[in-house]
Amino acid sequence: MFLKPHCLPLFITLFSLSLSSCLGSYREHPLHPKPYHPYFHTFGVSNKPNYPTLNSADLFNYNIEIRTSAPKIVNVDAFGAKANGRDDSQAFKKAWKYACSSSQRATLVVPKKKVYHLKPIDLSGPCKSAISLNGTIRATVNHSDYERYEGRWLYFDKVQNLRVEGGGIINGNGRTWWENSCKINKALAVTFNECNNLIVASLLIKNAQQMHLSFRKCVNVKAFNLLVKAPGHSPNTDGIHVTETQNININNCVIGTGDDCISIVSGSKNVRATGITCGPGHGISIGSLGARKSAAYVSNVLVNNTILSGTTNGVRIKTWQGGSGYARNIRFQNIVMYNVSNPIIIDQNYCDQQKPCPKQVSAVRVSNVFYKNMRGTSASRVAMKFDCSKSFPCRGIFFQDVALRPQEEEQEDIGKASCANVRLSYRGNVSPPCSS
C-alpha cells in the first residue's frame, strides 16, 4: 500500500507524535513485595512475627517492555555466550565492550532460563549501558582463575548512571571457598567501585565467595527489591557492604547470610536502610571502625522498619581501640527482633583476633545514637550492652519506647543491660534499663 501525496503530511505528524510518546519506553516492572510496615503490629513478645516473603516466583515476576524507541539491545548470546556449562567470560566482555561503544544508551541482556558461567570479569566505564539480568550468572570454582583479580569476581568500575536489574540470579558458587580460610584470597561476588547514580534492583544474589554486594566510593545509590542469601555457617558472606559511599538507599530487601546482613564502614555518609528482613546472620552493623589505629568516619545513618530473626547480633556499632574519627548521627527505629543475641550493642573495645588486643587510649568517638520503637526477644540474658571507651565515652545515646525481653519463657520477664562509660537519656518505656 502506498500513501497518497495529500496524506503524507498527516502521516508524518502522527508518526512524530507516536515516536515522542515512546521516548524512554524501556520501562521496568519490578517486583513489589508486600510492604513491611504492617508487620510491626502483628508481633508480640510470645509469638514469632509474620514475615513478608520474597520467593523466587515473586522475584522472577519481572518483565521488560521494549518498544521501537527502546535503548539498543545487546544480547550476550549474539557475542558467543552458550550457557552450556563452559566459560562465557569472553562473550560477556565482547558484549559489554560493544554496548559501551554505542553512541546511544544500550542495554546488555542476559536471557532468562539460561545459566552462564563466568570467570572474574571487569566491566569498566565510561559507558552508557544498562544491564537486564534475566537469567543466571554462576561463578567459576577454579581458585586459580582469581589470582590476578585481587579479590573480585564481578567488578563494575567507574560506570555512571548504571542500572542493573531484571529478576535474574547471581550465584557466587562460594561453597568451595567456605571450606578454606575465611579471609584469604576470597573474592567479593559483586562490587561497584566509583559508580555514581546507580540502581541495583530485583535480583537474587546467593552463595557469595565472600561478601555478596559491595558499594565502594559510590554516590547516589538505590538498592531495592533484593534477595540475598547464603547458609548461616558461610564465613564472611556479608549481604550488603557499604564503604566510602554517600547517599545510598537500601530498601525492601530480604537478607540471610553467614555474616552481617548490612555492614557500613568508614567513609560512608547518608545511609538509609528501610524495610529490611535480616536472618540468619550477624545483624546490621556499623563497623568495624578504626582497626590498626586508622581514622574512620561514619555519619547520618538510618535503619528503619526492619525485622531481625535468629541473628547473632541485632543493631551494632563496633570500633577498635586505638583508632580515631567518629560514628555519629545514627538512628535505629521501628525494629522488631525475634530470638536475637545481643539485640543492641555498642562495642568500642572490639577485637577480632586470636591474641588479646592491647589497651589503647584513643578511640573512634560514638555520639548521637537514637533508638526508638524497638521490641522483641533476646536470645542472650543481656539484651543491651554498651562497652564504651573510658577515654571517650559514648555520648548522646537516646532511648524511646524500647522493650526487649528474654526469649525463654522460664527466664525473668526483664532482661539485663550492661552499661559502661555511656551517657544515656530515656523517654517513654525502656526495658531493660541501664543500672549505671
The average pLDDT across 415-433 equals 93
Lowest mean pLDDT among 6-10, 72-76, 136-140, 225-229: 6-10
Look at residue 179 in the predicted model and tell me its pLDDT: 83
- CA distances to 26, 42, 242, 384 from 169, in Å: 21, 32, 21, 38
Report the alpha-carbon distance of residue 146 to residue 287 in Å, rounded.
27
Is residue 282 part of the annotated active site? The answer reads: yes
- Amino acid letter at 260? D
Look at residue 71 in the predicted model and tell me its pLDDT: 79
User: Looking at the predicted structure, is the pLDDT value of residue 428 above 60?
Assistant: yes
Length of the chain: 436
User: Looking at the predicted structure, is the pLDDT value of residue 204 above 70?
Assistant: yes
Q: What total number of domains does the chain contain?
A: 1
Look at residue 427 in the predicted model and tell me its pLDDT: 96
The pLDDT tens digits of the residues spanning 284-298 come to 999 999 999 999 999
The average pLDDT across 130-151 equals 94
List alpha helices for 183-322, DSSP H. none
**34 in any annotated domain:** no
- Amino acid letter at 354? Q
Lowest mean pLDDT among 37-41, 61-65, 295-299, 432-436: 37-41
Look at residue 409 in the predicted model and tell me its pLDDT: 62
Look at residue 362 in the predicted model and tell me its pLDDT: 86
For residue 167, what pLDDT band results from cuts at 50, 70 and 90?
very high
Look at residue 415 in the predicted model and tell me its pLDDT: 74
The average pLDDT across 76-102 equals 97
**395 in any annotated domain:** yes
Place of cell 501525496: 5
For residue 73, what pLDDT band results from cuts at 50, 70 and 90?
very high
- Amino acid letter at 338? Y
Phi then psi dihedrals of residue 99, to 5 deg:
-60, -40
Gap between the terminal Cα atoms of the chain: 89
The pLDDT tens digits of the residues spanning 230-239 come to 999 999 999 9
CATH number of residue 291's parent domain: 2.160.20.10
**158 in any annotated domain:** no
Place of cell 524497638: 374
For residue 23, what pLDDT band results from cuts at 50, 70 and 90?
very low
Smallest CA-to-CA distance from 369 within 345, 387, 389 is with 345
Look at residue 74 in the predicted model and tell me its pLDDT: 97
Report the alpha-carbon distance of residue 73 to residue 216 in Å, rounded.
28
For residue 28, what pLDDT band results from cuts at 50, 70 and 90?
very low
For 399, what's the count of Cα atoms within 13 Å in the CB-facing half-sphere? 21
The average pLDDT across 392-402 equals 97
Mean pLDDT of the chain: 86
The average pLDDT across 138-144 equals 94
The grid coordinates of residue 142 equal: 577454579
For residue 412, what pLDDT band results from cuts at 50, 70 and 90?
low
Question: How large a percentage of the chain has pLDDT more than 70?
Answer: 81
**87 in any annotated domain:** no
Smallest CA-to-CA distance from 283 within 164, 204, 385, 389 is with 385
Residue 412 region, left (φ>0) first, then alpha (ψ -120 to 50), else beta?
beta
**272 in any annotated domain:** yes
Phi then psi dihedrals of residue 297, to 5 deg:
-140, 120
User: Looking at the predicted structure, is the pLDDT value of residue 224 above 80?
Assistant: yes
User: Looking at the predicted structure, is the pLDDT value of residue 400 above 70?
Assistant: yes
**238 in any annotated domain:** no
The average pLDDT across 90-116 equals 96
Q: Which domain does 373 fall in, by range?
A: 260-435
Rounded to two decimals, what is the model's pTM?
0.85
Q: Cis omega before residue 235 (within 30°)?
A: no
**159 in any annotated domain:** no
The grid coordinates of residue 254 equal: 530480604
For residue 331, what pLDDT band results from cuts at 50, 70 and 90?
very high
Q: What number of other Cβ atoms are within 10 A of residue 217's Cβ?
A: 15
Look at residue 64 in the predicted model and tell me its pLDDT: 38
Element holding 393 (H helix, E strand):
none
DSSP string, 341-395: SSSEEEEEEE--SSSPPPP-S-B-EEEEEEEEEEEEEESSSEEEEEE--SSS-EE
The grid coordinates of residue 225 equal: 527489591
The average pLDDT across 3-24 equals 43
Look at residue 357 in the predicted model and tell me its pLDDT: 78
For residue 396, what pLDDT band results from cuts at 50, 70 and 90?
very high
Provide the 3-class DSSP secondary structure of residue 395: strand
The pLDDT tens digits of the residues spanning 237-261 come to 999 999 999 999 999 999 999 999 9
Lowest mean pLDDT among 46-60, 339-353, 377-391: 46-60
**312 in any annotated domain:** yes
The grid coordinates of residue 61 equal: 515476576
User: Between 393 and 436, where is the model more confident?
Assistant: 393
Please answer whether residues 432 and 403 qualify as being in contact, where contact means their C-beta atoms are separated by less than 8 angstroms: no
Smallest CA-to-CA distance from 133 within 90, 93, 164, 100 is with 164
User: Between 44 and 9, where is the model more confident?
Assistant: 9
For residue 359, what pLDDT band results from cuts at 50, 70 and 90?
confident
